[in-house]
Structure formats: structure tokens, C-alpha cells
Structure 1
């Protein structure tokens, strides 16, 4: 008899290359079911992040030049922590819709209400890993790579490996934060091929949407002027929402007994 109760696997499933496309398609399917609510959630996430950045920037301007590096670090840390909590809320919302056909805007803040301490610890751990990795790359990489921004690409993949499954495991399965990071890295190493495929799919989608938006902006710009760019803001929100839902769909396929199709 087929199991209908979702549970966490002892080991990450080894998915095929084609599953990378499946994860993206399943995320789009979740988005379509409640697209208005998802876009509102992402808009609020954007506004909260922008407000947090503005507050820290205003505070930094009042500090002495010697204190600027500290303020930049604190600003980045605050952004990481806020993003961890909101990502946790999005995962709670995605799980609620996928498993119970229930979605409410208030779920965006579920991380603050139900998993505050575990997500705080996870956010701090990710922040410290980010700092250590940045210092390591700055010390080891050639200066030409640092000036050209190549180090950011090298930095992004390890940090993504650390966090992509960690938030899901902490929020949805009460896994300890430090253990969740290790499990996330192990799952990514075991599924590097579908992850590579999904990354290529996202690259094509972003490039395609960007090209279409540029072409339409040029055409509409003559009529609407600068306001033409505002017409594409909902498209950006939708794309960001699907990207966030991707974190849930890949978790479902890699770490549970009930993968999404």
C-alpha cells in the first residue's frame, strides 16, 4: 500500500537530472494555485528587507568612518537573520498549501511565532559561515579574481548548499540547526546534477524574462515614459515567489517519501 503520510527520509534521496526541471515546474504549480497571496507575501518581504537596509544605512551615516566596517557587518547580519525568518514562513506557507490546501498571508511570519529560537540559531550559524568563507576567499584568491567579482560566484555555491535545505529541515521537521546545515550540504553533494540542471533552467528563465522586459520597455517607453518599468514589477514579484517556492519543492523530492511531480 502506498504511504500517504509525509515523513523525513533517513538519507537524502538521489534524484535524476530531470528532477531539476521537475522542481521548477512543481514550484510554478504551487504559485499558480494562489498567485495573488504569494505575490503579496513577496512584496512584503521586499519592503521589510528594504526598510531594514534603510534603517541600518541611516544609522551607519551617523557613525565615525572607523565604525563603518562594523556597521556593514551588522547590516549584513541583520539581513541574513530577517531573511532566514521570512524564508521559514514561506516554507510553512508552501507546506500548508501543498499538504492541506490552505494558505494564509499571516503564515509569512510563522517563523517568528513558532520557530524563533531554532531559526535565530540557524541564521547566526549561516552568518558566521558566510563571514568565514568570505575571509577565506579574500585571503586565498588572486587579486584579479577579487576585483572582477569572480569570488562572489565561488562564494555563492557553498553558502547555497548550506542553506537551501537547512531552513526546511529546521522549520518542518525540528532538526537541530547545526545538523540541518550538514544535512543540507550532504543532500546537495548527492544531488549536484539535478541542482545543476535546475540552475541552468533558472538562468534561462531569468534571461528570457529580462530580454522580454527590456524589449517591451523600449516599445512602451515612448508612450509611458519612466512609468513603463513599473508595469513589470509584478513579473519580478512572481519570479521571486516561484524561486522561493522552489526551496520547498526540491526539499520534498530530496528529503521526503512523497516527492512532488
Structure 2
């Protein structure tokens, strides 16, 4: 009979689509933003700090003090600094994510990187260190190449005026190369800390996605970077006191740039 129940049939259950937890980030994009939206991150970063200035300023001051103390520890300090900074930056990202999703701020979040995603963050710091070493060696090698070419020309009895002109031209060529490589390296790591801290991406995928996101928004990122540098420079003039106001804003703007460029927008 068609109404008979098959005792061997697997029980049927309604499949419920799993929804992300409240406040969870969902990666998307990379999304393309306009220059106006990029510059707007600064103003939005300031709005984000309402009611949380004390906690964020305190966290940034502790980070600054740790950085200064490391400078006075021979050998170990410079080696430890890249790793500690990545872990602390991961904590700052976690702090802003909490502010964004719950309007709550916890000073303890500054140290979240020492207990959450610690392994991937340490690997990210190693990757940064390796890339910076290669970058430094590349620039030093190019400078030595130009210097060696000048020395060879001198040994061949070339006119000193012509030799100096060629050396100057070579060094002038090195400047734009240095700037372009600096921007590319910055793009490689710009979004990596929030990608590693707030998602399950490893350092390699985070670096690739960061680079792709920055290239997709090349002009907005460059304009935003120039505006940010000018603001930070001007705020440093009155004995660095302006940084107490500006650096929390820039930290909020950084979090918002990651959120708008690399997560799904509601």
C-alpha cells in the first residue's frame, strides 16, 4: 500500500539554513569604493568613537609605551617588536569590531591577539618581516649597483662630470622605484591584520586578498593615504599632543575601510 511506512527509510528533517551569529563578519568583494567614500572613513571613524574615547586612547597609549620600551632592550627588543605589534594591532581591530557590533568597548580586547588567532598572527608577522628584509635587500642592491657602475666608470677614466651625471640620473630613477615598491608592499599587508584576526583566513590568503582589494581601489587608497599622512603630520606639530585626538580616529577609519572594502554590506 502506498500509505505504508518503510521501516528502512531514513527519517526526514527540515533543513534549516544556518545564519551567521550576531556581529559576525561575512567576507565579500573586494568592493570598489569612491574617493569620497574613502576620505569619509576619517569622519566616520570619529563618529564611531562616541562614548569610547577613553578606552581607545588608553589602549593606544599602552601600545605606544610598549613600543618605546622595546627600543631600549638590546637585540631582543627589535626582534620581538614586529610580533608584539601585530598581536596588539589584532587586539585593536577586535576592540573596534566590538564597538561596531555592540557599542561596547573593552580594554582587555587590546590583548585578544595573545589568546585568539595567535598562531596565524605570529605567522603574519614572520611574513611581514621576511618581505621587509627582501625589500630592503632589493633597494640596497640597486643602490650598490649604481654605485658600482660609477666606480667602474671612474676606473675606466670616464669624465667625472659625465660620470656624476649618470650616477645622479640612476639615483633619481631609484626614487620612483622605491616609492612604487613601498606602495605595493603596503598594499600586500594593509588589510591582513583584520582579515586574520576577524576571519578564518591564513596569512597567505589574507595577503593575496589585501593586495587585490587595494589594487581594485588604487586611486581611493592613494588619496586616502595622502590625506591621512597630512592629518597625522599636522597633528604632530603641537608636541605630538594632537595624536591623542587623531590616532584613535585613524584607527577607527582603518577598521571601517576594512569593513567597507572586504565584507558584505547589509
Q: Flag whether TM exceeds 0.5 (same fold).
A: yes
Larger Rg: 2
Q: Tell me which protein shows more helix as a share of its residues.
A: 1
Q: Which runs of 5+ in 1 are unaligned?
A: 57-70, 214-228
Residue 169 of structure 1: how far off its partner (Å) = 0.8
Mapping of residues 1-261 of structure 1, within 5 Å: 7-56=25-74, 71=75, 75-141=77-143, 142=146, 145=171, 153-154=179-180, 156-210=182-236, 213=238, 229=239, 233=241, 235-258=242-265
Q: In 2, distance between residues paired with 1:150 and 1:236?
A: 30
Aligned residues: 221
| Contact 1:77-1:127 at 8 Å conserved across structures | no
- Superposed CA deviations along residues 102-136 of structure 1, whole A, max 9, x for unmatched, are 11111000001111111011110111011111111
- The TM-score normalised by the length of structure 1 is 0.75
Q: Which runs of 5+ in 2 are unaligned?
A: 1-19, 148-167
State the match for 2:161 in structure 1: none
Q: In 2, distance between residues paired with 1:241 and 1:171?
A: 19
For the structure 1 residues 5 and 37, does the alpha-carbon distance in structure 2 shift closer, same or farther, using more than 3 Å as the test? closer
| Contact 1:81-1:123 at 8 Å conserved across structures | yes
Residue 75 of structure 1: how far off its partner (Å) = 4.8
- Superposed CA deviations along residues 26-48 of structure 1, whole A, max 9, x for unmatched, are 22222333111111101000111
Describe the SS at the equivalent of 2:35.
Answer: coil
- The TM-score normalised by the length of structure 2 is 0.74
